[in-house]
């Protein structure tokens, strides 16, 4: 029976209540020191436990951060090594190609220069000089005739001869100049060829220089990673997060493609495995369609791995080239076979659909609507095309999948780190809360028994010892 | 020892979950067609209903159509019955054959003298219990006026746990028009019989919404 009921049954309930309250206060007064100790011990235990938990969590977070950093730097180092290796391979290929072209280039340049020299030589030939006797004849022709007609005729004849000789000389000179100009003109394509060849050389050298600059940049970043600098870690972490979201986006698109693929083959699959058999809550036809799609994705992963686009399976990467090529052809063969099956299933889907439409129409009594239309072949062809192409398109899922898996490690690490930090903070907050709650409860305890405490204080003051009444233990003392 | 116990537990769990009796799947539909008296004129509507039901049923479902006549508790009264094949293409062929059978029956039906609805329901329950589908539906295409020949005992409680009973096209008789309470009492009596047997009861007179017969 509760205490309240007992008191209510007493003849003087009010008095009984007062008595009980006084009894409780007195009991609390006499048990004050021990009660304070108990409350403070409990709050201290909770505070210390939670603090310990927070410290452990922080240590775990610290270890996780270190581990994340190691993994991130290792992954970044590996990726950077691959990039630098690839750049060196490119440079190597470029230099080998250019060097192999050097003799040919040299020969072509020499030929062009020789032709230019020949043309130049030809263009520098001296034009034919006017005859040597012309000045003598000219001097005779300028002698005054002094009215003698005979002399005048002779002189006129000389003059005419001279003019003719001059014209002949001018014509010869022009022809000679024309020939020289022709030689100079024929030099132009050779100059152009030389300029073009030198331009090609310049372009290749510039390309090489740009590649070296790229390599320099990658080497700098690689050195940063090797030093384990904070900047490198921040860059890699940020890069990982970006890659994670991009890969997740592409995987979501691929999942959409796989879903379309699934709907394309699930219905006709019922013709092969039955439409009403179940495993659990799933139709076997649906499971079979799903398995086909998953096998296609697996084949795609193996194909990409064999082609060395991805590095998800070290065993495949370590295969000898001969076996790798065999694996490429085998996986490609499987993929083509599965794609052909899907195209066939897509065709069957269309046939089933048409049959169902015809049956529904005939059940509705629409006998004239069962002829169908002339454009059915378009949807049939489109479905077959999708059935054949989608398995090959899903092959490329391997690339974002690899990125997703690699970046997921970093993202999970960062997320777990945040979670642990938040947990440690929460534990510390609760620890502090329990500590102050204990002190508050001690004070509230004293408030409840303030009357005996006040009396004790007055009595001790009256007795004159001047000392303060005994205090309960503080949080620090406990 | 612990490993042994764990392995045994795992095997037991697999045995319980993997080898248990599979739950019944699919639908089972049994349709009773009243062929008594003037109600045979309504059979064209029954044909439409059957076609609509055929369009709704899937591979693996069971469907039977039986007539209600003087003594309906007989396999001979089943006009057509089928359990559809798992393959959709075969199912379509079976549906076509089923429809042809019904068309032939409706064209050549002869009116019965009496109306033994209870016997038809008992036959339907027997058929569907044997098929044991996931969902059991009995469609009664009748005015629900039972008229038994002398000597036929049909005062039998129905056992219809998990059965959905749908009365279709319950037409009003001339006497119902004089006293509508007869019609209401008839419906209430059937509802009471079905629900007391553990089934659910529904009346659908609007045949423009046939597709709702099986979905609701």
- Cα–Cα nearest to A91, from A207, A216, A202: A207
For an interface test with B, give the residue of A274, A275, A278, A288 to mutate (most B CBs within 10 A).
Answer: A275
Provide the 3-class DSSP secondary structure of residue B184.
helix
Q: What mean pLDDT comes out for the span A149-170?
A: 80
pLDDT at A473: 58
**Those residues with Cβ within 8 angstroms of residue B30's Cβ, 6 or more apart along the chain or in another chain:** B63, B64, B65, B66, B124, B127, B128, B136, B137, B138, B139
What is the per-residue pLDDT across B8-58, written as a single tens digit (0 to 9) for each?
454 444 444 444 556 667 899 999 998 887 777 788 888 888 998 998 888
Smallest Cβ–Cβ distance between B99 and the set A276, A278, A363 belongs to: A363
Respond yes or no on whether ipTM tops 0.85: no
Q: Does A275 touch chain B (CB under 8 A)?
A: yes
User: Quick check: B189 and B162 in contact, CB under 8 A?
Assistant: no
Assigned token pair, A464: 């004159």
Q: Does A360 touch chain B (CB under 8 A)?
A: yes
Residues of A in contact with B96 (CB under 8 A): 359, 362
Q: How far is CA B82 from the centre of its chain?
A: 13
Nearest-by-CA chain B residue for A351:
B89
Nearest-by-CA chain B residue for A350:
B89
Q: Where are the alpha helices (DSSP H) in A274-375?
A: 284-306, 314-317, 321-363
Q: Does A359 touch chain B (CB under 8 A)?
A: yes
Residues of A in contact with B88 (CB under 8 A): 267, 270-271, 275, 352, 356
Q: Does B12 touch chain A (CB under 8 A)?
A: no
As beta bridge partners, residue B163 has B136
pLDDT at B3 over 50: no
Residue A252 banded pLDDT, cuts 50, 70, 90: very high
Q: Does A356 touch chain B (CB under 8 A)?
A: yes
Q: Does B58 touch chain A (CB under 8 A)?
A: yes
Nearest-by-CA chain A residue for B23:
A280
> What whole-number distance in Å separates Cα of residue A342 and Cα of residue B51?
33
pLDDT at B145: 86
Smallest Cβ–Cβ distance between B59 and the set A276, A355, A363 belongs to: A276
What is the number of CB-based contacts under 8 A between chain A and chain B? 49
User: Quick check: A393 and A257 in contact, CB under 8 A?
Assistant: yes
User: Quick check: A260 and A289 in contact, CB under 8 A?
Assistant: no
Residues of B in contact with A352 (CB under 8 A): 88-89
- Cα–Cα nearest to A332, from A305, A311, A312: A305
For an interface test with B, give the residue of A350, A363, A364, A365 to mutate (most B CBs within 10 A).
Answer: A363
B96 and A359 within 8 Å at the Cβ level: the answer is yes
B88 and A363 within 8 Å at the Cβ level: the answer is no
Between β-strands B200-204 and B163-168, what pairing exists: parallel, antiparallel or unpaired? Answer: parallel
What is the per-residue pLDDT across A167-221, written as a single tens digit (0 to 9) for each?
888 888 888 888 888 888 888 888 888 888 888 888 888 888 888 888 888 888 8
What is the per-residue pLDDT across B60-94, written as a single tens digit (0 to 9) for each?
899 999 999 888 888 888 999 999 998 888 999 99
Q: Does A362 touch chain B (CB under 8 A)?
A: yes
A274 and B55 within 8 Å at the Cβ level: the answer is no
pLDDT at B11: 44
- Global pTM value: 0.63
pLDDT at B1: 43
B59 and A270 within 8 Å at the Cβ level: the answer is yes
Mean pLDDT lowest among A60-69, A129-138, B191-200: A129-138
Q: Does B92 touch chain A (CB under 8 A)?
A: yes
- Cα–Cα nearest to B128, from B72, B195, B83, B68: B83
């Amino acid at each position: 029976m509760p205490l309240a009921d007992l008191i209510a049954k007493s003849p003087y309930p009010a008095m009984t209540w007062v008595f009980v309250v006084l009894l409780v206060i007195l009991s609390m007064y006499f048990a004050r020191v021990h009660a304070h100790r108990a409350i403070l011990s409990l709050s201290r235990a909770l505070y210390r436990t939670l603090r310990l938990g927070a410290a452990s969590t922080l240590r775990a977070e610290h270890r996780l951060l270190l581990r994340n950093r190691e993994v991130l730097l290792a992954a970044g180092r590996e990726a950077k090594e691959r990039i630098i290796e690839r750049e060196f391979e490119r440079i190597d290929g470029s230099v080998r190609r250019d060097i192999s072209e050097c003799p040919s280039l040299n020969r072509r340049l020499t030929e062009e220069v020789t032709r230019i020299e020949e043309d130049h030589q030809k263009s520098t030939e001296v034009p034919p000089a006017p005859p040597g006797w012309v000045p003598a004849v000219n001097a005779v022709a300028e002698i005054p005739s002094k009215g003698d007609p005979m002399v005048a005729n002779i002189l006129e004849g000389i003059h005419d001869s001279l003019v003719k000789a001059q014209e002949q000389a001018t014509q010869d000179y022009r022809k000679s100049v024309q020939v020289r100009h022709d030689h100079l003109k024929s030099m132009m394509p050779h100059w152009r060829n030389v300029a073009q060849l030198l331009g090609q050389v310049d372009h290749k050298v510039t390309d090489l220089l740009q590649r070296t600059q790229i390599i320099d940049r990658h080497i700098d970043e690689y050195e940063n990673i090797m030093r384990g600098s904070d900047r490198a870690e921040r860059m890699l972490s940020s890069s990982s997060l970006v890659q994670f979201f991009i890969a997740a986006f592409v995987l979501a698109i691929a999942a959409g493609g796989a879903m379309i693929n699934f709907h394309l083959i699930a219905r006709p699959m019922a013709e092969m495995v039955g439409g009403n058999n179940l495993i659990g809550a799933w139709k076997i036809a649906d499971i079979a369609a799903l398995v086909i799609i998953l096998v296609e994705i697996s084949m795609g992963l193996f194909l990409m791995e064999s082609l060395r686009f991805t590095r998800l399976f070290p065993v495949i990467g370590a295969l000898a080239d001969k076996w790798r090529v065999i694996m490429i052809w085998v996986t490609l063969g499987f993929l083509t076979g599965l794609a052909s099956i899907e195209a066939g299933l897509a065709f069957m889907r269309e046939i089933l659909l048409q049959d169902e439409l015809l049956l529904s129409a005939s059940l509705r009594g629409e006998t004239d609507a069962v002829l169908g239309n002339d454009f059915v072949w378009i949807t049939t062809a489109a479905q077959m095309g999708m059935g054949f192409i989608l398995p090959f398109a899903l092959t490329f899922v391997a690339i974002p999948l690899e990125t997703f898996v690699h970046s997921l490690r970093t993202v999970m690490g960062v997320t777990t780190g945040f979670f642990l930090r938040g947990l440690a903070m929460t534990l510390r907050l609760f620890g502090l809360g329990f500590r102050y709650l204990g002190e508050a409860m001690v004070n509230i305890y004293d408030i409840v028994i303030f009357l005996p405490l006040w009396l004790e204080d007055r009595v001790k003051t009256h007795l004159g010892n001047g000392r303060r009444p005994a205090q309960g233990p503080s949080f620090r003392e406990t | 020892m612990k490993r042994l116990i764990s392995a045994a537990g795992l095997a037991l769990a697999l045995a319980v979950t993997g080898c248990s009796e599979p739950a019944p799947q699919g639908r089972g539909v049994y349709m009773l067609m009243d062929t008594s008296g003037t109600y045979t004129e309504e059979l064209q509507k029954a044909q439409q209903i059957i076609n609509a039901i055929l369009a709704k049923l899937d591979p693996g479902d069971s469907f039977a159509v039986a007539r209600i006549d003087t003594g309906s508790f007989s396999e001979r009264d089943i006009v057509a019955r089928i359990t559809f094949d798992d393959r959709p293409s075969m199912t379509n062929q079976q549906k076509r054959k089923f429809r042809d059978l019904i068309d032939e029956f409706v064209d050549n039906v002869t009116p019965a003298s009496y109306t033994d609805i209870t016997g038809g329901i008992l036959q339907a329950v027997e058929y569907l219990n044997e098929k044991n589908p996931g969902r059991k539906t009995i469609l009664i295409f009748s005015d629900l006026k039972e008229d038994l020949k002398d000597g036929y005992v049909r005062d039998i409680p129905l056992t219809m746990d998990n059965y959905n009973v749908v009365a279709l096209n319950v037409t009003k008789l001339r006497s119902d028009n004089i006293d509508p309470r007869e019609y209401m009492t008839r419906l209430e009596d059937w509802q009471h019989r079905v629900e007391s047997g553990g089934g659910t009861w529904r009346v659908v007179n609007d045949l423009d919404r046939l597709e709702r017969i099986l979905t609701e």
